[in-house]
Structure 1
């Protein structure tokens, strides 16, 4: 039976891992030094316009069962000169082999997390790893997203720059500092446009449910994704589903990552 849980706001777990984690040219950034073997790698896919660095602070939390691995998409940060992927399916096909090539991902199991645009990337990657690469998926965490069979309204694709940015701010309820810097915005805008267009054009083509449990997450005050939309993910898994609502709006994870990471870590303890 599906579960629906609302979590009260709690203080975040204090960081215990090394603060100075250098960036690399790998698809995702790895912790320096040795990592525990009895943990599950969590591939983290960012929201539209964001890069792997968004998840770097998550690596400093004292997680018992989880190794946070931010996935770096093209068109930003270390991959600034790489063109964005034209669609979700091309993105998954292009990234999968490099992810698998990492020693701690080749044997599984793996868990995946994605927020908004990142949620559909995480879902399609979970399907690809499980069905085409034979890598067991321990859990899929999808955040701030309607189910994959729901076509996103084309609310921002094709708008002039000012209208596009205003619409993105309206959708997200979040104004990244980069949007206030004209020079940085000039670098970010093509990637943000590509991500939004790719997200709004996406609809799942899969017929069979995913053979992995799914947790769908949303902010209690999210005005973009309703509880009913977040619950749509229940229809695409045969292995268990739960819905959790956390304090905050659509971008709740930018303010209160502690409760989210505790939820994820608790879920993965059975695999560690």
Structure 2
């Protein structure tokens, strides 16, 4: 990636059920000009025993102070989020543009309709078996841990909370972001259409771009290098 004097923070927000470790390989892919900062939510990985959030605003309220503390060697920020992570990244972007010494360069919103599209209640309130089957159906991807009874019991409460958080999401503001936005989707995503992804153009009063990469809703599990190269090329060109 292109070298610059000050590293740029690539702040990564996870999809439902995921933790920061998903983004750890991106540090090696991104190179020295980027500092990958995956956000840690409660209810997973090292915070597995903590109660997960069920509301986006509360999650962002908790994430913001830790993120600002982490921006010790750079004030240049790019945000990336997939699915649930896209709306978390969008809300964080709104908070960050109000911080005087932070420069938000761009938001990459992946696998998500624009923020003001009402989310469908696809899985919230279902029984465990119905819930897992529905998540597998609409995501086109499933964590193998859900096949293990003990692991499933451990991770299902957080996955349920994340899905509820996403399906009940209401934007905190109707104001467009004053920063550029790139919307991303898999070409065969059956959950988010190209038209819905293109709707992110209404979420910004700056530059907008829609990019499609090969794959379904969870295309990003195989596209780390493509994404980091795309992010670098878009921001540093």
User: Shorter-chain-normalised TM-score: which range?
Assistant: over 0.9
Q: Measured at CA, do residues 62 and 150 of structure 1 come closer, stay the same or move farther in structure 2, by a change above 3 Å?
A: closer
Equivalent positions of 1:112-123 (< 5 A) are: 112-123=79-90
Alignment check: 8 A CA contact 1:113 1:140 kept: yes
The answer to whether structure 1 residue 71 and structure 2 residue 50 are counterparts is: no
Equivalent positions of 1:141-220 (< 5 A) are: 141-220=108-187
The answer to whether structure 1 residue 90 and structure 2 residue 32 are counterparts is: no
Alignment check: 8 A CA contact 2:11 2:78 kept: yes
CA distance in 2, matches of 1:72, 1:95: 8
Question: Which residue matches 1:19?
Answer: none
Which structure has greater helix proportion? 2
Instruction: Return 5+ residue gaps in structure 1 as ranges.
Output: 1-12, 14-35
Of stretches 138-147 and 81-90 in structure 1, the one that deviates more from structure 2 is 81-90
What SS does the aligned partner of 1:122 have? helix
The answer to whether structure 1 residue 229 and structure 2 residue 196 are counterparts is: yes
Query: What TM-score, normalized by structure 2, do the two folds share?
Result: 0.94
CA distance in 2, matches of 1:135, 1:124: 15
Question: Which residue matches 1:248?
Answer: 215
Of stretches 254-263 and 112-121 in structure 1, the one that deviates more from structure 2 is 254-263
Alignment check: 8 A CA contact 1:213 1:237 kept: yes
Post-superposition offset of 1:66: 2.4
Post-superposition offset of 1:125: 0.4
What SS does the aligned partner of 1:131 have? coil
Equivalent positions of 1:8-47 (< 5 A) are: 37-47=5-15
Post-superposition offset of 1:39: 2.1
CA distance in 2, matches of 1:178, 1:224: 22
Higher RCO (CA < 8 A, seq sep 6+): 1
CA distance in 1, matches of 2:70, 2:30: 23
CA distance in 2, matches of 1:38, 1:64: 10
What SS does the aligned partner of 2:131 have? helix
Q: Measured at CA, do residues 41 and 238 of structure 1 come closer, stay the same or move farther in structure 2, by a change above 3 Å?
A: same
Alignment check: 8 A CA contact 2:9 2:71 kept: no
Deviations 1:167-209 (A, max 9, x none): 0001100011111111111110000000000100002131211
Query: What TM-score, normalized by structure 1, do the two folds share?
Result: 0.82
Of stretches 129-138 and 68-77 in structure 1, the one that deviates more from structure 2 is 129-138
Alignment check: 8 A CA contact 1:144 1:218 kept: yes
